[in-house]
């Protein structure tokens, strides 16, 4: 149980374009999902907390207008990287949990390369 699916697995886009990443909880409902970014050989960095039916909560230093998060249902959250630049190239990973005391389960991640 507690499977999280993330799509796409990898994407290459040109500077200035936007990219949407989907995160789905397949066998449970998640009122909260979490978006992380990870640069090579570094630890996970929490970008934002996605809340179903309300606005996302962004960590300090993360631009909410650049990283748009929508949590339209109890099983789907999307992250849109707008006007992408090469420095946005990274590994983006979503996660969710069954309840607030349960382990986080991660999607397979999306490797974004901006050329």
- In this complex, which beta carbon is closest to another protein, that of residue 44 or of residue 76? 44
Q: What's the sign of the alpha-carbon dihedral 95, 110, 77, 3?
A: negative
Q: Which stretch binds another protein (CB under 8 A): 15-23, 67-75, 76-84, 105-113?
A: 105-113
| Site size toward another protein, by CB under 8 A | 18
107 is a site residue for another protein (CB under 8 A): yes
* Distance of closest approach, residue 93 Cβ to another protein, in angstroms: 5
């Amino acid at each position: 149980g507690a499977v999280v699916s993330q799509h796409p697995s990898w994407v290459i886009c040109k500077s200035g374009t936007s990219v949407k990443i989907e995160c789905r909880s397949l066998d449970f409902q998640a009122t909260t999902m979490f978006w992380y970014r990870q640069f090579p050989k570094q630890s996970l960095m929490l970008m934002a907390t996605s809340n179903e039916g309300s606005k996302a909560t962004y960590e300090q230093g993360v631009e909410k207008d650049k990283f748009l998060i929508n949590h339209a249902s109890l099983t789907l959250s999307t992250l849109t990287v707008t006007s992408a630049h090469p420095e946005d190239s990274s590994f983006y990973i979503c996660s969710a949990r069954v309840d607030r005391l349960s382990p986080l389960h991660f999607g397979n991640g999306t490797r974004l390369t901006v050329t």
